[in-house]
Structure 1
Amino acid sequence: MTVTYCPIIRNGPNEKEVIQSFGGFSHFEDTKFERPLHPIVEVQSVDDLQALPLYEDAGERVYIDLPVAHTERATKLTEGVTATLNKHGSREEFFREHSDQIGFPLISSLLEARQAPVEYGVHLSVHRALEDKFDRIGHRLMIRSLKPGLTDKQKEALRELAEVTRPDEDVMMFDIVDSERGEERRAEKDIRFLSNLFDGYETGVLNAFDPMNGQTKNRSPDLADRYNCDFFGDYAIDQRFPPKMGGRPKSVKLRHYHPEQRDVAVFPGKDYAVAGRDLLGWDEWDRDHCNHCRQISSLIQQGKGNDFNRWKQARMGHYIHSVVHGDA
């Protein structure tokens, strides 16, 4: 079975530049994908829905998530998501009102506090509000990897969800939160429970990989295979909770994915051009791996150490290329 890749993307200018490189002619000839691409787009407002044709051109299926977890801490998305919820009254009303544009709504869990158990009952209520409007619904079930395991109350709520969802239509995603420094291993017991409970559904593992917080090893493909999942996904070397933009950092870390080792090499420096010179000296560096690697080489040669947008595009593009072309 060829496992699908689901990159979690925000509709920003850098992300749009990257996803465009996987649309159109990239589906054909020697650039044909070895792995299907099903983007998860985290939208902040109705305006983001206008860009969906761009993602649909690149992916065979596009999930739409209004990520309510961003209302519970200050991130780059908080203001937009909060305003959209206030305008529509709830995310279910947002989905219903724009059902002509949204083909596959995705219901994500709330994360009320860093250590609070996830409340899965909200999935049941939102599902019931949407099931008459959408033939297919996705559920993004957050798993706290720092917790000892699902409680009896959580398991009961999940069993109730399994009674109303549709195995042949609905999709279940097991999203590992707090996976830094290998803590995602503790989530496997919960993944096993969820895989058994939702046997017969399309399922997938998200975020067994967090290179921004020390978990540089990508274990998602292995976990997806171990639990017979249909897909895996992650933030494509970005942050779950991106902070609001501040001033220019005093130093940076250049993160570059090694497809064969499924690991991220980290190169620090005062700017990206300085860090990039160490990357060029790395024995595993391959300038001709993809267009994004050639872009990295060009940025280093031009000394574009502070062109943060183009460096982000190159980093994400190289990673997604590695995955969808079967290198990861």
Structure 2
Amino acid sequence: MVLHYVPIVRHGFNEIQVFEDFDDSLLGNVSPNQVMPVIEIIDEDDFNHLDSYREFERDLMIDLPRYLVPRNNKHQDDVDTIVSNYSSVADFYRQNVDNDDVPVVSGDAEPPIDYSQLTSLYNQLENDYDRLAIRIFVGLRQFDHQQEQQIRDLVSQLRDDDLVLIDLVDTAGFDSDAYRNAETIVGLLDSQETYILNAFKYDESNHNYGPVAAKELDISGFGDFVINQRFPQEMNFRPPTQYIRMFNTDTMELENFGGDGYDNAYNQMRNSNGLDPDHCEYCRQADSDPNWGPNFWKRVRMGHYISEVLDETLDRMESQTSPNLDSHGYDEIN
């Protein structure tokens, strides 16, 4: 099985810069068709910039992230405005997404989740598109009988070419029922490409369970927000401590380096062996001048992470056993 990475992206200056950078020289050991972006539309102008995310050979998946509306975040009002501009979600897709891309069938993520909403939207769109992606939000509590039946009803209608995205909304490690819920969904599926998204525990360890979870579930790969937040807040002030965050594929953890200014944070990272200037183009840029501002370090963080996933993580997923890939994550799952 060829493994894939699914970055979830909201269009912005830094995001477009990173994706335009990923020509053949930055793809590492993988081919362009092993990267399958999901673009969350948070402004209707985003449709004018989709070509910048087509550096990879797979179709783009396009999502209207309605789940952002009920919960406080900086995109809440913008997405709500888009939703209100159309008579239905199906109408939004029909007017904006052609058959060259893949609409994402998604819904609310607040518990208790009603999965019948996905079946309804799927039925409205299946005759308009050759392929759909179904984004199934999964919470920390085990599915109840009604939810499991709703998922059974949904997956029984899927076509072989449809995609399934199992998205963990509030990951608190796999000592919860989140992984069991993912197992339930995978057990109901037939031959559809399936991915686990956002199996990332943001706490003291900042552990990424995505690779080992995908391997244990025997599915097509994993994805995430490229070390960005699902529910970002407005920042109207400069925090006293500046942080640089870098992913370490050996430990599957996100490492934080802080200081009074990015130059001090950078020095802490170098002193802790948290940066290898020869790792990727982004690390080389960071090493050449550490005094760049937050936009630069966001691009380094994203670009370094994608480079790490493409050049090392996907290869390790294919060549190593689960305990060798991620002993901590494997122990929690089992």
**Please, what TM-score do these two structures have when normalized by structure 2?**
0.88
**1:242/1:84 CA distance change after superposition, 3 Å:** same
Aligned with residue 272 of structure 2, among 262, 282, 286: 282
The percentage of counterpart residues that share the same residue type is 30
CA shift for structure 1 position 10: 0.6
Task: Find the aligned partners of 1:252 and 1:172 in 2 and give their Cα distance.
Answer: 37
Asked if 1 retains the 8 angstrom alpha-carbon contact of 2:26 and 2:307, the reply is no
**1:281/1:215 CA distance change after superposition, 3 Å:** closer
Match of 1:323 in 2: 309
Aligned with residue 202 of structure 1, among 190, 193, 205: 193
Asked if 2 retains the 8 angstrom alpha-carbon contact of 1:64 and 1:102, the reply is no
Match of 1:144 in 2: 139
**Please, what TM-score do these two structures have when normalized by structure 1?**
0.89
Aligned with residue 220 of structure 2, among 216, 224, 230: 230
CA shift for structure 1 position 32: 5.1
Equivalent residues, number = 313
CA shift for structure 1 position 140: 0.9
Task: Find the aligned partners of 2:23 and 2:176 in 1 and give their Cα distance.
Answer: 34
CA shift for structure 1 position 238: 0.6
Task: Find the aligned partners of 2:204 and 2:235 in 1 and give their Cα distance.
Answer: 21
Question: Are 1:176 and 2:158 matched, yes or no?
Answer: no
Aligned with residue 33 of structure 1, among 30, 46, 53: 30
Asked if 1 retains the 8 angstrom alpha-carbon contact of 2:5 and 2:35, the reply is yes
Amino acid at match of 1:15: E
Aligned with residue 71 of structure 2, among 70, 73, 95: 73
**1:85/1:24 CA distance change after superposition, 3 Å:** farther
Moved more, 220-229 or 256-265: 256-265
Q: Deviations over 1:128-168 (max 9, x none)?
A: 111111111111111112x2x001110111111122221x1
CA shift for structure 1 position 184: 6.3
Asked if 2 retains the 8 angstrom alpha-carbon contact of 1:7 and 1:39, the reply is yes
**1:186/1:270 CA distance change after superposition, 3 Å:** farther
Asked if 2 retains the 8 angstrom alpha-carbon contact of 1:108 and 1:141, the reply is yes
Task: Find the aligned partners of 1:288 and 1:109 in 2 and give their Cα distance.
Answer: 42
Asked if 2 retains the 8 angstrom alpha-carbon contact of 1:209 and 1:217, the reply is yes
**1:184/1:69 CA distance change after superposition, 3 Å:** farther
Query: Equivalences for 1:58-137 in 2 at 5 Å?
Result: 58-100=56-98, 103-112=101-110, 116-137=111-132
Task: Find the aligned partners of 1:234 and 1:185 in 2 and give their Cα distance.
Answer: 19
Asked if 2 retains the 8 angstrom alpha-carbon contact of 1:138 and 1:173, the reply is yes
Task: Find the aligned partners of 1:184 and 1:46 in 2 and give their Cα distance.
Answer: 39
- Structure 1 unmatched ranges of 5 or more: none
Asked if 1 retains the 8 angstrom alpha-carbon contact of 2:99 and 2:130, the reply is no
Task: Find the aligned partners of 1:59 and 1:77 in 2 and give their Cα distance.
Answer: 29
Asked if 2 retains the 8 angstrom alpha-carbon contact of 1:256 and 1:266, the reply is yes
Question: Are 1:216 and 2:206 matched, yes or no?
Answer: yes
Task: Find the aligned partners of 2:91 and 2:100 in 1 and give their Cα distance.
Answer: 12
Task: Find the aligned partners of 1:244 and 1:209 in 2 and give their Cα distance.
Answer: 22
Task: Find the aligned partners of 2:175 and 2:126 in 1 and give their Cα distance.
Answer: 32
CA shift for structure 1 position 240: 0.6
Asked if 2 retains the 8 angstrom alpha-carbon contact of 1:39 and 1:59, the reply is no
Task: Find the aligned partners of 2:66 and 2:264 in 1 and give their Cα distance.
Answer: 38
**1:59/1:186 CA distance change after superposition, 3 Å:** farther
Match of 2:242 in 1: 252
Asked if 2 retains the 8 angstrom alpha-carbon contact of 1:76 and 1:242, the reply is yes
Question: Are 1:44 and 2:42 matched, yes or no?
Answer: yes
Asked if 2 retains the 8 angstrom alpha-carbon contact of 1:24 and 1:58, the reply is no
CA shift for structure 1 position 284: 4.8
- Structure 2 unmatched ranges of 5 or more: 315-334
Task: Find the aligned partners of 1:256 and 1:45 in 2 and give their Cα distance.
Answer: 29
Amino acid at match of 2:20: Q
Amino acid at match of 2:192: Y
Q: Deviations over 1:100-146 (max 9, x none)?
A: 3761011223123xxx221111101110111111111111111112x
Q: Secondary structure at the match of 1:178?
A: coil
Amino acid at match of 2:304: H
Task: Find the aligned partners of 1:84 and 1:278 in 2 and give their Cα distance.
Answer: 43
Task: Find the aligned partners of 1:26 and 1:268 in 2 and give their Cα distance.
Answer: 28
Query: Equivalences for 1:152-191 in 2 at 5 Å?
Result: 152-166=145-159, 168-180=160-172, 182-183=173-174, 185-191=176-182
Asked if 1 retains the 8 angstrom alpha-carbon contact of 2:246 and 2:274, the reply is no
CA shift for structure 1 position 91: 2.0
Asked if 1 retains the 8 angstrom alpha-carbon contact of 2:134 and 2:163, the reply is yes
CA shift for structure 1 position 248: 1.1
CA shift for structure 1 position 270: 2.5
CA RMSD between the two structures: 1.9
Q: Secondary structure at the match of 1:58?
A: coil
